[in-house]
Amino acid sequence: MDTQQTTSAFQSLKSGADAYIKRRNLRLLANHRKELRNFTRAEASAYLDIDAKTLDKYVAAADIDPRRHDDSQWSIDISEMYRVRDLLPESLRKEARFQRSEKQQTQVLVIQNQKGGVGKTVSAATIASGLATEFHQEYRVGLIDMDGQATLSMYYAPEADMEGNLSVGDLMMRNFDLDEGETFEQVVSEAFLETTIPNLRILPASQSDRAMEGWFHEQVFNHKLPSPYEILNDVIDTVRDEFDIVIIDTPPSLGYATFNAYYAASSVVFPLSITENDIDATCSYFSYIPQVWALLEHANHEGYDFMKILLTNHRDSSTTTELMNSLYDHFGPYLYSKEFKHSEAVRQASSLLATVFDMSKSEYPKSKATFQTAQQNGYEVASQILRDISNVWREQENN
């Protein structure tokens, strides 16, 4: 093929792919319109830690009819749950709502590993939805999908691409015009879309965000971007007041998208699934990572508050234990003690583009015990991260 034929071959691959993706998205939307997580009466009273009678009283006070559904079974959804909790007096609330002080900064957590398939996206979704739903402090959580493959976005903003919402790439590459009187802050704030969880919002990726790497190369080549790693940070800066915790999912590569995520972050979590292959790949990555940091430091990053390895998709077996022993030998202080365990419920939820925290127990077709175990494990995983975040806030408050 000459260059012209090559160009038209690539164009035809592109049209085929665009058509395929459009069709796939439409089908996904038709099949997976997500329902809000539902709670039975027993689940609701356990969640709020109040007895059933008190629950009934506040559900009525919130003007909710829990038996309005076709099957007239008692059930309320998660946004109704939040409304009920809002009506509880302080003495009945499990925890007071978190109020970040002036000194306490929004924690920005980047989830990164150059290896694909180690559980970055599933971890980002599970940790974010766990932090948002399982703690009565009602942390305001933001997710940012820096991976142009947009998997995370399919979980929480499946319509975004089709409905013309701005993606993180659009914001970074300034692919939009301000309406009259509109500010960049307003545009960014609106680009963080509501999700099926009331205190979780997502800044989605779109398929066109794949153009981002090329855009960066061009800008840098033409000396149009003096600080190419700071672009995402500038976007986040405009909405810091709206979030307590921001979690960034990254692509399995070390391009500008990942450097921007690293630069914007105040702490790092490295997901690592325990197979010989993934450990080898992650070790090659870690032996290169001082060079990544040197570039970030040169760009004036102030250093991370914490940096941890989260073992993911963990299955108990003698081989894993052996690998774990050697991981502890080499990376002991950096390893989180609770692994994110392999679970059929997590796998199933992820295939429905959901996590165990935004799916109802009744939606899980198989063993409820498996689902509950996965929720418990997700809660432990999120808790250890929250402990690190709370430590940082405590130190900031005392300084």
Nearest 5°: phi and psi at 350? Answer: -65, -30
Among 343, 355, 360, 375, binds ligand ADP (CB under 6 A): 343
What is the x/- site pattern for ligand ADP, positions 58-97, by CB under 6 A?
----------------------------------------
From the list Mg ion, ligand ADP, none, pick the one residue 206 interacts with, judged by a Cβ distance below 5 to 8 Å according to partner type: none
For position 364 contacting ligand ADP by CB under 6 A, the verdict is no
Toward ligand ADP, which CB reaches closer, 75 or 343?
Answer: 343
SS3 248: strand
Toward Mg ion, which CB reaches closer, 64 or 252?
Answer: 252
Please state, in angstroms and rounded to a whole number, the distance separating the CA atoms of residues 229 and 222.
Answer: 16
Task: Pick the piece of the chain touching ligand ADP (CB under 6 A) from 11-19, 52-60, 284-292, 335-343.
Answer: 335-343
- Report the nearest approach of ligand ADP to the CB of residue 383 (Å): 16
Number of residues that bind ligand ADP (CB under 6 A): 17
- Report the nearest approach of ligand ADP to the CB of residue 315 (Å): 9
Toward Mg ion, which CB reaches closer, 146 or 264?
Answer: 146
For position 129 contacting Mg ion by CB under 5 A, the verdict is no
Count the Cβ atoms, other than its own, within 10 Å of residue 189. 15
DSSP 273: E
| Binding positions for ligand ADP, 293-312, rule CB under 6 A | 312
* Helix or strand holding residue 200 (H, E): strand 200-203
DSSP letters for 230-294? SHHHHHHHTTGGG-SEEEEE--SS-SHHHHHHHHH-SEEEEEEE-SHHHHHHHHHHHHHHHHHHH
Question: Which residue is listed with tokens 């150059």?
Answer: 114
From the list Mg ion, ligand ADP, none, pick the one residue 346 interacts with, judged by a Cβ distance below 5 to 8 Å according to partner type: ligand ADP
The answer to whether 174 and 129 are in contact (CB under 8 A) is: no
Rg (CA), the chain: 22
Among 38, 75, 104, 121, binds Mg ion (CB under 5 A): 121
Task: Pick the piece of the chain touching Mg ion (CB under 5 A) from 60-68, 120-128, 288-296, 338-346.
Answer: 120-128
Say what angle helices 41-48 and 52-61 make with each other, to 10 degrees: 90
The answer to whether 273 and 135 are in contact (CB under 8 A) is: no
For position 38 contacting ligand ADP by CB under 6 A, the verdict is no
For position 346 contacting ligand ADP by CB under 6 A, the verdict is yes
From the list ligand ADP, Mg ion, none, pick the one residue 118 interacts with, judged by a Cβ distance below 5 to 8 Å according to partner type: ligand ADP
Among 118, 235, 264, 269, binds ligand ADP (CB under 6 A): 118
Task: Pick the piece of the chain touching ligand ADP (CB under 6 A) from 180-188, 300-308, 321-329, 339-347.
Answer: 339-347
Q: Which positions ≥6 away from 262 have C-beta within 8 Å?
A: 110, 112, 229, 268, 292, 296, 301
Closest CA to 309 of 107, 111, 106, 108: 111
Q: How far is CA 377 from CA 126, 202, 218, 345, in A?
A: 10, 23, 44, 11
Q: How far is CA 219 from CA 172, 177, 223, in A?
A: 12, 19, 6
- Report the nearest approach of ligand ADP to the CB of residue 113 (Å): 6
Where b means 16+ CB within 10 Å and e means fewer, 147-172 reads: bbbbbbbbbbbbebbeeebbbbbbbb
- Report the nearest approach of ligand ADP to the CB of residue 328 (Å): 20
**Structure tokens that stand for 14 in this block:** 């592109």
For position 117 contacting ligand ADP by CB under 6 A, the verdict is yes
Among 93, 120, 308, 341, binds Mg ion (CB under 5 A): 120
Toward ligand ADP, which CB reaches closer, 266 or 313?
Answer: 313
Residues that bind ligand ADP (CB under 6 A): 116-122, 252, 312-313, 340-343, 346-347, 350
Residues that bind Mg ion (CB under 5 A): 120-121
